[in-house]
Chain A
Amino acid sequence: MIKITFVDHSNVRRDVEVPEGLSLMEAAVQNLVPGIDGDCGGCCACGTCHVHVAPEFVDRLPPMDEMENEMLGLVGTRDKQSRLGCQVKASQALDGLVVHTPIGQH
């Protein structure tokens, strides 16, 4: 199992343990972690699973494809640590990953 920590807008931390291969979006939704919506169900088509990855993990993530980049381009609060949770899968390399969720998804 891979440990992932979601930190919400008011700094509340929630740890979840999920199997390898599950996306961060699914990890949050299945464990009722608030702050991630995932309206499209995980096909990179809505931009409502935006997370800010803690800086020390950014380089360990798989590269972003064009569609994810395009969808994130519509998110007003995008920064260098921004990713879409549905495009990042839990893996051994990411065990202990910390991500921050925005005040809301839209």
Chain B
Amino acid sequence: MNATASPYSSKAVEEANSIPLDQIDVADTKLFRSGTIGAYFDRLRREDPIHYCAKNSLYGPYWSVTRYKDIIEVETKPLIFSSEAGGVTIEDGTLALDTPMFISMDPPKHDEQRRAVSPTVSPETLAQLEGAMRQRTGEVLDGLPLNQTFNWVDRVSIELTTQMLALLFDFPWDERSKLTRWSEVASASPESGSTVVESNEARMAELGECLAYFTRLWNERINAPPKFDLVSMLAHSPATRDMTPNEYLGNLILLIVGGNDTTRNSMSGGLLALNEFPDEYRKLCEKPALVASMVPEIIRWQTPLTHMRRTALSDTTLGGKQIKKGDKVIMWYLSGNRDPDAIDQPDTFIIDRARPRQHLSFGFGIHRCMGNRLAELQIRVLWEEILKRWTKPMQIEVVGAPEATDVSIIFRGYKSLPVRINA
């Protein structure tokens, strides 16, 4: 790919550039599905980087923050831009946000609850986990078929992230596919056309089963000595042991979705990116140590979460625009991660960037992804183990078009990625 060319079709660019600014509504799943959303973000960053969509969008009026540096400004002012007042997604009530979880709390409660669970992903814990993770990753890879087409999403991305969650929760191993299902159910949005569940009632019923299951695990662990799994930590920590069942469910959903729907898609998106940029795949095979800088680049490239939302608690200005108390403010990570003022050649996948972790996919400020180093570790171990087994460029070949996940304005990912390992 030519590094300077727009990655979008000329028709998409023309459409994005000709529509009147005040008619632009980037929160349109059609644009995400067709892959043309980037052309609209390009225009907004250039012409109206903090853009108000007043028209009758599916989600009501909202501000779009599209530049990297403006997104950081919103992220670092949690007392003005609240996560609690209206939730963290453009659509009210997704992510089962009627259940309380620390991602949608403001200080000080956010800080207390987050501190209670953050030891599960501390550097010390990750160092302990790495061995088990590497062994299981190796087993999954060794079980893959050679010289025939299979779905990378099912066999690798979903399998590995589900196994990791089961390890973190010390969840009954043979029932771990329940975790994948609950993750999909929690993040489904029947209102915007998702078919994972039939209705919100059906979703809440399944999440009720999730709560019942985890309540059983809680009761087992609260009566046992504390250990290093998430359920035990929540049950024993002074900050979380008195949670209501609803708060417990909220935190479980947060950890399940956070640890599943995101990393899974980076595991698929990374392989796809290497196939789209074969020179990078070659570079990687020549110098496997580049995995370290490739991992954050994969996470930038994929941007598994398109946005996070805040709600203004008071009148304020941002980039010269007057934001009113109560306004919905959307930080489009997908746009900030393609901002040429912050990232050199943002539309090119480059595995040896100098400062690869300067991307927005984990957010910044007090709500920065708690599991960021866990996510990086999982993807790093995956690629280290891949390169021990299959050392040639393009040896893991994407042989057909990927299929995007069920319609979502929040998650960017894949349902299938047909792959063949040429051995």
Contact = CB atoms under 8 A, between A and B. Distances in A.
Interface string B97-129: 000000000010001001100110111101100
Interface in A7-42: 37, 39-41
Interface in B222-267: none
A37 B357 CA distance: 9
Given A47-B368, A103-B124, A40 B373 contact: no
Interface in B167-184: none
B238 to A, nearest CB: 15
B107 A76 contact: no
B21 to A, nearest CB: 29
Contacts of B358: 39-41
A47 B118 CA distance: 13
A74 B111 contact: yes
A105 to B, nearest CB: 7
Given A70-B366, A74-B115, A103 B76 contact: no
A102 B122 CA distance: 11
Contacts of A40: 72, 358, 364
Interface residues of A, number: 22
Contact of A76 (B76, B122, B357, B373): B122
Contact of A43 (B72, B124, B362): B72
B119 A76 contact: yes
A73 interface: yes
A74 B78 CA distance: 14
A70 B122 contact: no
B365 interface: yes
Q: Chain A CB within 10 Å — which of B118, B121, B366 has the most?
A: B366
A48 B357 CA distance: 11
Nearest to B374: A106
A102 B124 CA distance: 10
A86 to B, nearest CB: 12
A47 B370 CA distance: 11
Q: Chain B CB within 10 Å — which of A39, A48, A102, A106 has the most?
A: A106
Instruction: Classify the secondary structure of A's interface with B.
Output: loop
A58 interface: no
A76 B115 contact: yes
A76 B372 CA distance: 15
Nearest to A104: B123
A67 to B, nearest CB: 6
Interface in A35-85: 37, 39-41, 43-48, 67, 70-71, 73-74, 76-77
Contact of B372 (A43, A45, A70, A106): A106
Nearest to A39: B357
Contacts of A37: 357
A104 B76 contact: no
A70 B111 CA distance: 9
B373 A45 contact: no
Nearest to A47: B368
B25 interface: no
Contact of A45 (B115, B126, B368): B368
Interface of A: 37, 39-41, 43-48, 67, 70-71, 73-74, 76-77, 102-106
Interface of B: 72, 75-76, 78, 107, 111, 114-115, 118-119, 121-124, 126-127, 355, 357-358, 362, 364-366, 368, 372-373
7 contacts: A43-B76, A44-B76, A45-B75, A45-B365, A70-B107, A76-B115, A103-B123
